[in-house]
Chain A
């Protein structure tokens, strides 16, 4: 009987801890003026229902950020050019002496390479994410094939975050770079080209501040 009572008590404590976090995050998001949801083609997700590797049980994602979709414009245009290029080159007639079967295999190989290039660029964009949780910052970067860099910074150990934005395109589409200085070996965690950098900085600052207040109160 006492065992059951203790288990019930632990559950109640865990639930109240979760409620406390939920209230804190809700309060911060309300002050900053953002609502839960997925905007900018998944580049700015507030409280997404997603998980990431090494996520702890009591950890919740507050923000999941990717580079602004407009940063993909360059490679998208290049892919379109690569798709129309065979037609343009063959139209000039410089491969008129080459047998048709070689042209066919060459075209198919070219389109396959184009597909691979588009897929690679999309993967780098989609899976290079910057995550703000109720406990820490997580920066997952993919530099090249099979090379993954994951950086963590506890919200208790960060200095004041900063942002850099400017220029016509960045101002028009409201994106920029966020830098968070930490006291660890890697001094700065960065989120490059993310949407609404001012809101990101605001959310990180407020979360860190609330945590600091609670720590000072000994809670």
Chain B
């Protein structure tokens, strides 16, 4: 019985299914990188006080949110 299930599972794998989960995995890694960028911006902005520091921090957070949103989109749409 379990052997039949395994065969069904394997026969249901499609090329685009593999591509979908590889894309999602890539986007998860990218989001982790976006978190690092938020930390990096924090380190940089504390080095020099400047008027644009707030805007740059905001930009880094927006980038992180976009990366997370793209994961959701990829899971939902693909």
Question: Which residues of A are interface residues toward B (Cβ below 8 A)?
Answer: 50-53, 64, 99, 101-102, 104-106, 108-109, 112-113, 115-116, 119-120, 123, 126-127, 129, 140, 142, 145-146, 148, 150
A52 and B63 contact, Cβ closer than 8 Å, known pairs A102-B16, A105-B74, A145-B36 = no
B-side contacts of A115, CB under 8 Å: 63, 66
Query: Which chain A residue lies CB-closest to B74?
Result: A105
Please tell me if the beta carbons of A105 and B78 are within 8 angstroms of each other in the complex: yes
B-side contacts of A123, CB under 8 Å: 40-41, 44, 56
Nearest Cβ in chain B — how far from A149, in angstroms? 11
Can you report 19 residue pairs joining A to B where beta carbons are below 8 Å apart?
Answer: A50-B48, A51-B49, A52-B48, A52-B49, A53-B47, A53-B48, A101-B78, A102-B23, A105-B70, A109-B30, A109-B70, A112-B30, A112-B63, A112-B70, A116-B37, A116-B63, A126-B50, A127-B47, A145-B36
Q: A104-B77, A123-B41 are in contact. List 6 more A-B contacts (CB 8 A).
A: A51-B49, A102-B19, A106-B23, A112-B30, A116-B33, A116-B63
Nearest Cβ in chain A — how far from B21, in angstroms? 12
A-side contacts of B67, CB under 8 Å: 112
**Chain B binding site: helix, strand, loop or mixed by DSSP?**
helix
A185 CA to B30 CA in the complex, in Å? 39
A126 CA to B44 CA in the complex, in Å? 9
Q: Mark interface residues in B34-68 (1 if CB within 8 Å of A CB, else 0).
A: 10110111011111111010001001100100110
Q: How many residues of B contact A (CB 8 A)?
A: 33
Nearest Cβ in chain A — how far from B78, in angstroms? 6
Task: State the 5 A-B residue pairs at the shortest beta-carbon distance, nearest first.
Answer: A51-B49, A127-B44, A101-B77, A52-B48, A105-B74
